[in-house]
Amino acid sequence: MTGVEPRPRIRHNDYSPLTPPPLGGWSPTLGASVVIPAHGGQHRLDLTLAALAAQTYPARLTEVIVVDDRSDPPLRLPDLRPENTRIVPVPDGGWGAGHAMNTGIAAAEGEIVQRLDADMVISREHLEALFRWHHLTDYLVTIGGKRFAEEPALTPGQVNDAVRHGSPEDLFDPSALVSSSTEETIRRLDGLRASKNPYQVCTGPTVSLRRTLLDEVRGFDPEVVRGQDTEFAYRLAQAGAVFVPDPEARAVHLGLPAQRGEHGRAIVRLVEAHLAHRVPLRRDLRKEPGRRWRVPYVEVVFDVTGADEPRIAAAVDAVLRGTLTDVAVTLTGPWTLLDGDRRWAPGTEAFDLALVRAAFGHDARVRFAESAAPTAAPVPFRYTAPIDAPPSAALLERAVKAMLEERLGLLVLEAPGGRTATLERTEAVARARLLAAPGEAIADVVAQTHGVRHATPNQFDKVSTTGREPAAQSTQSAQSTQSAQPVRTTQTGSGTPGGGGAADGNAKARPEEQAPRARRGLFRRS
C-alpha cells in the first residue's frame, strides 16, 4: 500500500477508526482516473464533463476517460472539459456498461479509479470527498451520493459556473429532486457502519476504489448487462473490501431511475436473473430448489490424498444429499497422477482417483483441484473437513445460519477423536489475508475483524424438543477480539463419518499428514 502502513483493522464495515482529512485542508498525492461509460447522450455527457472541469481535486492528478460504447453518431469531446480527457472506443466482443468499464480500466493510469455515469452533475468537492479516504488505506470502496431530476434546459457553461460556486443543486427545481432509496438505507444503517451487506447499496453511478482492489476482483463481469454494479460490489465484498459512503460527495443524476420507466419491471427481472446466479447471498432470488446456480452458496473442501474411493464417494454423497442443496464440492489431491497415458493399476492411489473421477466427473457440483484456492471467492462460505468426517445432513444449513446471525468470520467445529472442521466466511478470510503480518495466524486476524467461535458438530445436528435449534456453545464469542488458536485438521482411519456443520458454510479439510500445510495456508499468511 502506498503511503500508509500498517493497514487499519476494520471490524465488519465499521470504518469509524478512520478519520478523513477536511475538504480543502489536505494535500492529495494519488493519481486518479475517472472512467465514464457512455452510449449516446452527447448533451448529458457535455454537462458531466463541465462539472468535472470544476473539481477541487487537482487537475494535475486527474485523467478522464470516456468510453464510447458504439454511439451513433460517435461521441466527441466538448470544449468545456477537464484538461486531461480522452475518448476510448470499446473493442469488439461485448457491449454494456461492464464491458465499457473494463475497457476504460485497461486504459487508466491512476492509482484511484472512479466509475462515473455519463449523466451526473457532481459537486465541486465530489472527487475530493471520495478520494481522501483512499489516502488512508487501500481496501475501501467509496460511494458518492445522488438525487434524481428530470433534465432542465442547461448549458455546459451554466453547469460549470454553478459547480465552481458550490451550488449545482440551484440548477434544478428543489421540489422536483427525487432522493435515492440507497441514501435512506445509508442513513438508517449509520453510514453503512452497521450494515451486514453494504455492497447492496453500491449501485454504480459514482463509486471509487484503489487499483489494487480492482485488480484483485479482475474488474467487471462483461456478461452482466444489467445489475453489473451490484454484482461487482458483491465480489469486492468477498475480497474483504469496506464500503464508505461520503455525504459530502453530492450529485444530481439527470433523469429518473430506469425502474420507474415504462419497462421498469422488465429491467428489474433482468437484474434479478443476473444476480440470482452470481450473488448467492440473495437467498430471496434462489427459491427454486431444483435449479443449479453459477456461484454456489457453500463450497465444501475435502483433501482426498491417500483416501480410497469408497471413503471419498461416501463424503461427497453425504454433502450432496444434505438439506442445503446450494453447494459445490472441491476434491483436492494428486489428480496429475491421471494425466497423460499412464496406466492405473488396481490397488494404487491413481486407480482410486480414476474411479472417483469416473463417478463424479459429469456432476457439475463436484470439482477436482490439486489444492484449494486461498479463499472460496466468489462463493461466500467454505466448509473444510476430514474426508472421513463429512457434515451431517443438516449441519451446513444450520451452521451457516448461525454464522449469519452472529456475523462470525470463522466457526471451528471440534469433534471427539481430534477431528476438526472449519466453516469460514470468505470476506473475513480475504480481509484477514490482506491485513495479516508475515507469520501471523489468519484466524487471529479474523477474530479481530469478524469473530471466531468454537463449537462441536453435534450442537448443530440436533433439534430440541421445543423445535428450536440449540445454541452452540463457544470458547470464543463472535464479538471477541482475542486471538483464536490455529485450527488443526486431522483425519482418522476409515469408518463412520463423524463430523459436521450446519447452515450455508465454507471450509477446507486435510488429512493428518497435511495439517501443517493447512495451517500455513488458511491460518498463516502465505
Phi, psi values for residue 14, rounded to 5°? -85, 90
How many angstroms separate the CA atoms of 47 and 151, rounded? 11
Give 60-119 as a 3 state SS string.
HHEEEEEEECCCCCCCCCCCCCCCCEEEEECCCCCCCHHHHHHHHHHHCCCCEEEEECCC
Residue 258: C-alpha distances to residues 12, 208, 255, 264, 268 (Å): 32, 22, 8, 6, 9
Cell 457453500: give the residue: 298
**Whole-angstrom distance, CA of residue 311 vs CA of residue 367:** 17
472 vs 459: CA distance, rounded Å: 5
Residue 230 region by backbone torsions, left for phi larger than 0, else alpha for psi between -120 and 50, else beta: alpha
Average the pLDDT over 337-362 and give the result.
91
Q: How confident is the model at residue 488 (pLDDT cuts 50, 70, 90)?
A: very low
pLDDT for the residue numbered 5: 58
Band (495; pLDDT cuts 50, 70, 90): very low
The amino acid that residue 91 corresponds to is: P
pLDDT at 503 over 80: no
**In the prediction, which pLDDT does 259 show?**
55
Q: Give Cα 416 distance to the centre of its chain.
A: 35
Domains of the chain: 32-279 (3.90.550.10), 298-461 (3.90.550.10)
Which stretches does DSSP call E strand in 296-440? 298-303, 327-332, 366-369, 381-384, 410-414, 420-425
**Residues 214, 217, 220, CA angle at the centre, nearest 5°?**
80
The amino acid occupying position 371 is: S
Residue 340 binned pLDDT confidence (cut-offs 50, 70, 90):
confident
DSSP summary character for residue 114: E
Environment class of residue 284 by beta-carbon count within 10 Å: exposed (0-12), middle (13-18) or buried (19+)? exposed
Q: Which pLDDT tens digit goes with each residue over 82-114?
A: 999 999 999 988 888 999 999 999 999 999 999
Percentage helix, strand, coil for the chain under 3-state DSSP, each rounded to 5:
35, 20, 50
Band (375; pLDDT cuts 50, 70, 90)? very high
Cβ-contact 236, 105 below 8 angstroms: no
**Residue tagged 453425504 (cell numbers):** 318
Which H or E run contains 432?
helix 426-435
Which residue from 337, 300, 328 is spatially nearest to 422, judged by alpha carbons? Answer: 300
Cβ-in-10-Å burial (0-12, 13-18, 19+) of 347 comes to exposed
Distances (CA, A) of 275 to 223, 224, 234, 284, 316: 11, 9, 10, 11, 28
Angle between helices 264-278 and 228-238 (to 10 degrees): 30
Which stretches does DSSP call E strand in 427-492? 452-455
Instruction: Give 67's strand partners.
Output: 37, 88
Largest CA distance in the chain: 81
Angle made by CA atoms 101, 200, 33, in degrees to the nearest 5 = 30
* Amino acid found at 361: G
Average pLDDT rounded to a whole number, residues 11-26? 97
CA dihedral 389→395→396→400, nearest 10 degrees, is -130
Considering only CA atoms, which of 118, 139, 3, 127 is closest in space to residue 55?
127
Residue 474: predicted pLDDT:
38
Q: In the 3-class helix/strand/coil scheme, how is 286-336 assigned residue by residue?
A: CCCCCCCCCCCCEEEEEECCCCCHHHHHHHHHHHHCCCCCCEEEEEECCHH
Q: Which residue has the higher pLDDT, 474 or 24?
A: 24
pLDDT band at 504 (very low <50, low <70, confident <90, very high): very low
Residue carrying C-alpha cell 448443530: 460
Long-range contacts from 466-470, C-beta under 8 angstroms, 24+ separation: 469/398, 469/502
CA distance 78 to 49: 8
CA–chain centroid gap for 264, Å, is 26
pLDDT confidence band for 262 (50 / 70 / 90): low
At residue 34, the 3 state secondary structure works out as: strand
Residue 503 DSSP class: B
Q: Is 263 exposed, middle or buried, given 0-12, 13-18 or 19+ CB atoms closer than 10 A?
A: exposed
> Minimum mean pLDDT among 26-40, 382-396, 450-464: which range?
450-464
Contact indicator for 452, 408 with CB cutoff of 8 Å: yes
Strands ordered across the beta sheet of 410-414: 366-369, 327-332, 298-303, 381-384, 420-425, 410-414, 452-455
Q: What is the pLDDT of residue 476?
A: 40
Residues 148 and 120: their CA atoms lie apart, in Å, by: 9
pLDDT tens, position by position, 387-442: 999 999 999 999 999 999 999 999 999 988 888 999 999 999 999 999 999 999 99
pLDDT in tens, 227-251: 899 999 999 999 999 999 999 999 9
Q: Give SS3 for 141.
A: strand
